[in-house]
């Protein structure tokens, strides 16, 4: 039986580690000023961090089925500490981009913790447990922007990365005392482990659907958050990283939906919740387009965006963890690598859209990506209906 205390420690861990990947988003203007480069030149820091996260998940997450999980999690925390220190010491924008990739590459602990919690949970409570852990994770994503914006404005962006490195060291010792051991579930070589990923993609249509939908949703999400600081800086008041970061606090209102989304998935089915989340995404970007030239309008859209993000992600994860319990690490690998590749592409696309068409371009790109997510769900819905046996 998984203790509630352990669940909440896992949630806090996920939030604190995933935050490493998002500190840079409200700090992009600060990076540009520090190294004397344009906003467009600073944008790849955010994108490469997301790509690093995707590569790290591809290489490390399958190993969670092959090695003891607690030890693996603690070793990755030490690696993330070194990457954060390298970021704080960056002497140039090019070094910062490479260090950003390293931060993403090593900060994959949240994607080890989530399936670990699902594996330990009672099947009847799995959606709720995943919801709590994912709630902590998304809260970490959102508050990371608030904290980084405040620290960057008052202490300098380097201080944020020194603080983050210290937090990883604290987690290393806390998890060593509180996490249960997670014995391996796969016997074989690393090569055969990676080959089994392709087999999962081939044989699991639900995994293909959830991965594509999550990638499109996260691409839209990343396009918004990567360009928000540029948009705010374009206001007559020239708002800085501290104001951009404050939108993370507003987004926590959406993150609070996570446990409820998990419970709703347990009761009514996760697929419907995911479809509703895509519709909420579309409404969020329409709100940004119509009202996003003022702080109140942006705040309203952020609540919708994060509500859609969290409810969709939790429901997708609940569907995935019901597929093959003995392969949770690998299922999570396929899903999250695809998702964060989408996030990295979204950061690039958002940066390009901002450079050429400013805020209207970012909003239009978000609507297109979210409508594509709806189209993917409708396509797979028709396939499931066609494959169902006649009554």
Segment 96-112 mean pLDDT:
94
pLDDT score of 296 more than 70: yes
Q: How far apart are CA 55 and CA 300, in angstroms?
A: 34
Both structure tokens of 188: 């074989």
Residue whose tokens read 């590459």: 105
What is the pLDDT at residue 255? 63
- Burial of residue 90 (number of CB atoms within 10 Å: 0-12, 13-18, 19+): buried
What is the pLDDT at residue 94? 94
pLDDT by residue (tens digit) across 246-255? Answer: 887 777 776 6
Both structure tokens of 142: 């959102």
Of 32-36, 236-240, 372-376, minimum mean pLDDT range: 236-240
What is the pLDDT at residue 7? 87
Complete domains list, the chain, with CATH? 4-182+190-387 (1.20.1250.20)
pLDDT by residue (tens digit) across 36-80? Answer: 988 788 888 988 998 899 899 888 888 877 888 889 999 999 999
Q: How far apart are CA 185 and CA 207, in angstroms?
A: 20
pLDDT by residue (tens digit) across 317-329? Answer: 888 877 877 777 7
Model confidence at 267, pLDDT cuts 50, 70, 90, reads low
More confident residue, 349 or 247: 349
pLDDT score of 390 more than 50: no
**Both ends of the chain: CA-CA distance in Å?**
39
pLDDT by residue (tens digit) across 198-244? Answer: 899 999 999 999 999 999 999 999 999 889 988 998 898 888 777 87
- The answer to whether 258 touches 306, Cβ cutoff 8 Å, is no
pLDDT score of 391 more than 70: no
Segment 296-305 mean pLDDT:
92
The rounded mean pLDDT for the chain is: 87
pLDDT by residue (tens digit) across 110-145? Answer: 988 887 887 777 777 777 787 788 778 878 887 888
pLDDT score of 103 more than 50: yes
- The answer to whether 115 touches 332, Cβ cutoff 8 Å, is yes
Q: How far apart are CA 372 and CA 242, in angstroms?
A: 33
Both structure tokens of 269: 């089915």
Q: Which residues contact 160 (CB under 8 A, 6 or more apart)?
A: 23, 27, 147, 148, 151, 152
């Amino acid at each position: 039986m998984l203790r509630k205390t352990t669940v909440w420690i896992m949630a806090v861990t996920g939030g604190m580690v995933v935050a490493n990947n998002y500190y840079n988003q409200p700090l992009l203007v600060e990076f540009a000023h520090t190294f004397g480069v344009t906003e467009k030149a600073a944008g790849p820091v955010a994108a490469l961090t997301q790509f690093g996260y995707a590569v790290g998940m591809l290489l490390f997450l399958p190993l969670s089925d092959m090695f003891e999980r607690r030890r693996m999690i603690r070793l990755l925390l030490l690696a993330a500490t070194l990457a954060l220190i390298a970021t704080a010491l960056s002497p140039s924008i090019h070094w910062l981009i490479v260090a950003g990739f390293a931060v993403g590459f090593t900060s994959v602990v949240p994607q080890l913790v989530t399936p670990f919690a699902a594996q330990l949970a009672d099947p009847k409570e799995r959606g709720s447990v995943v919801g709590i852990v994912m709630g902590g994770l998304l809260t970490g994503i959102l508050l990371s922007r608030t904290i980084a914006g405040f620290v960057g404005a008052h202490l300098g962006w380097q201080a944020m990365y020194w603080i983050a490195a210290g937090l990883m060291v604290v987690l290393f010792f806390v998890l060593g005392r509180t996490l249960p051991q997670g014995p391996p579930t796969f016997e074989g070589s690393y090569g055969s482990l990676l080959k089994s990923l392709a087999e999962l993609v081939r044989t699991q249509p639900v995994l293909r659907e959830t991965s594509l939908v999550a990638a499109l949703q996260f691409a839209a999400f990343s396009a918004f958050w990567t360009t928000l600081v540029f948009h705010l800086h374009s206001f007559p008041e020239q708002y800085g990283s501290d104001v951009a970061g404050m939108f993370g606090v507003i987004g926590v209102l959406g993150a609070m939906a996570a446990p409820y989304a998990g419970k709703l998935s347990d009761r009514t089915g996760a697929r419907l919740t995911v479809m509703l989340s895509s519709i909420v995404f579309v409404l969020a970007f329409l709100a940004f387009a119509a009202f996003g030239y003022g702080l109140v309008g942006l705040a309203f859209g952020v609540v919708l965006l994060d509500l859609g993000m969290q409810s969709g992600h939790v429901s997708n994860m609940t569907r995935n963890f019901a597929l093959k319990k003995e392969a949770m690490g690998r299922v999570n690998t396929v899903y999250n690598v695809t998702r964060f590749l989408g996030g990295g592409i979204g950061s690039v696309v958002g940066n390009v859209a901002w450079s050429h068409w400013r805020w209207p371009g970012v909003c239009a790109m978000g609507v297109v990506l979210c409508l594509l997510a709806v189209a993917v769900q409708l396509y797979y819905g028709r396939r499931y209906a066609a494959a169902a046996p006649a009554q």
